Structure 1
Amino acid sequence: MNQLKVELIVDNRVNRSTLSGNGIRNAVSLQPVLYVGGIPNNNHINLTGSGLNAYGFQGCLSSFIVDGRLLDYQRALVLN
């Protein structure tokens, strides 16, 4: 079974999860787009049994790191 380990740090509190299921890597793939805070209504992903949920993040991000790389907010705004 495919498994993906995810770590989320909010206000210095570490939350770890292991997501599992067939096709899980496709569900959380960073290609071509990573949505933070929810996905557009026209994108339907089957979340059943994946460990993911359909609720979006509400709050502020001071930094966003994926695979050890810091997201460049200014570049992301220009590209999108």
Structure 2
Amino acid sequence: MRAYKLNVNVADDHRISVELPEDFPPGPAEVIVLAVTPTERRLVRVLGSLGGAAPPSVEKDPVAGALAELRAERAGHLDASEESETET
């Protein structure tokens, strides 16, 4: 299944118009329309403004500490698997 996502504005007559890319395959397709509520718009604006904020320090945020440990452990596993692949 191929997906194509875009944002549209619903007109006062409750219609939308969508033009798909040239390489989108013809034939049956499923269309899902999700309305964004005013609360969701505000939340997106707030969260978007936090996107550039520095992450909390590991000392202040136990979740950040746990994530750091998991990332280090995963990196160790990835390094070990790469080494075993180069040895064979």
Q: What TM-score do you get using the length of structure 1 for normalisation?
A: 0.24
Which is bigger in relative contact order (C-alpha 8 A, separation at least 6)?
1
